[in-house]
Amino acid sequence: MKLSELEGRLPAMYYSSLEPGGPSYYITSPPGRGKTSVVMNFKRIMKRIDPDRKYGIALINGANFTLMTAMGFMVPEKDKHGNTVSVFTMPYWFYDIEDGKPLYEYDGGYIFIDEADKLGLDEKKIVGEAALTKRLGNHNFPPGWVAMFAGNPASSRSGSTKELMHMVNRRCEIAIKDDMESWKHWAEAKSLLPEVITFGNENPQLLFEPMPADNRPWGTPRSVHQTDIHLKSLMKSFGTDKIPTDPLTTEEIAGMIGAPGAAQLIKTIRLGQEVASYEAVLANPETVTLPSKPDGKRLLTYKLAQRVNEKDAPKILKCIQRLEQEFQTIFVRQAVQQNTNLAFVPEVADWCFKNTALLAILNRFKDADE
């Protein structure tokens, strides 16, 4: 299943898990593919399809989940007869990860057990009960709450413990496939650097690099995103809008995505420094020199989309229309996604209604608006 498909199926999975005896779901993939980010978007997905109800999401990390954190801390109290009894405090996972409110204040939601493959064997028995009866430790889930799991396969060498067959029998296991379109839409929505987006588009073999045998850093959507964050931090600390390409930066990039990926990303960054600037395009939209190769065209398209505003949109679009339809669509989709007001610029609206990409663009606009 692709990440975009997982996002569309999450509501159905939730409703299925709600049913008595219904399955829980276990999302699995190699590290860094983005499955956690999609599941954590559950609240916003449900808001679109069921706006009258309030959904939450609680988070458990399997790598540091213990018997004590399953139950809370035991404290002594007196019952009505004066006898000392043991009671348990509310565990940390009994609260929404974003709002910090207890689960019973919501109509329902997911208790998301991430890194489930790294749970200890005793802890797997506990969450296995949560998968089937919606009870974790000594705590019943409030009405409307179900368990969702995610983790890595044992072949990923990420610290997975032995799988228990009673767990396998209580869940539906979904394997996430690498998918460029899902990554591209995510990267555009997150406003990754144009050079990083172009690098991913042009080098899927480095974005979804097979796990190396020698334990060196390698390219995954997660490590590429971390590289983007690092490059933006360098630009901020140096007070420049130019991405550095010095040997130290190359070394740092290689420490996140490996030497082959670093070499190709630096090449893409240097290409970006050669294409026409935003100011040059704005000054001469009909005559400015455009790149001749697809990677240069894509890079220019992303760079313009990230900076365009309502005032400049007519001129920038005039330049973009000198490129092939593919790049025009990329530009309008990302520009509108980043600034929804651009959808109401007459020239942009006119372009939409004259092109077959209209529905895709309007859908992206709708998602961004919500």
- Containing 299, the helix (H) or strand (E) segment is helix 294-307
CB proximity list for 226: less than 8 A, separation 6 or greater: 256
CB proximity list for 354: less than 8 A, separation 6 or greater: none
Rounded Cα–Cα distance for residues 266 and 270 (Å)? 6
What radius of gyration do the chain's Cα atoms show? 24
Kindly give the confidence (pLDDT) of every residue in the chain, 370 residues in length, as a single tens digit, with 9 standing for 90 and above: 998 899 999 999 999 999 988 999 999 999 889 899 899 999 999 999 999 999 999 999 998 898 888 888 888 888 889 899 888 888 889 999 999 999 999 999 999 999 999 999 888 888 888 888 899 888 899 999 999 999 998 888 888 888 888 888 888 999 999 999 889 888 988 889 999 999 999 999 999 998 898 889 999 999 999 999 999 999 999 999 899 999 999 999 999 999 999 999 999 999 999 899 999 999 999 999 999 989 899 999 999 998 999 999 999 999 999 999 889 988 998 888 888 899 899 998 888 888 765 545 545 544 444 4
Ranges of beta strands (E only) in the chain are: 24-28, 55-61, 74-78, 84-88, 108-114, 135-136, 139-140, 145-151, 171-175
Amino acid present at 302: Y
Could you tell me if 302 and 198 are in contact, meaning their C-beta atoms sit under 8 angstroms apart?
yes
Residue 366: how many other CB atoms lie within 10 Å: 11
Going from N- to C-terminal start, the domains of the chain cover: 3-175, 178-274, 277-370
Rounded Cα–Cα distance for residues 127 and 260 (Å)? 41
Tokens read off for 332: 């309008």
Rounded Cα–Cα distance for residues 185 and 221 (Å)? 12
pTM as predicted: 0.80
Q: How many residues does the chain have?
A: 370
Could you tell me if 42 and 55 are in contact, meaning their C-beta atoms sit under 8 angstroms apart?
yes
What b/e readout covers 322-344, taking b as 16+ CB neighbours within 10 angstroms?
A: ebeeebbbbbbbbbbbbbeebbe
Tokens 């042009």 correspond to what residue?
A: 202
Tokens read off for 50: 């069921």
CB proximity list for 347: less than 8 A, separation 6 or greater: 313, 314, 317, 318
Q: Which CATH number fits domain 3-175: 3.40.50.300, 3.40.50.740, 3.40.1050.10, 2.120.10.30?
A: 3.40.50.300
DSSP string, 141-170: PPTTEEEEEEE--GGG-S-PPPPPHHHHTT
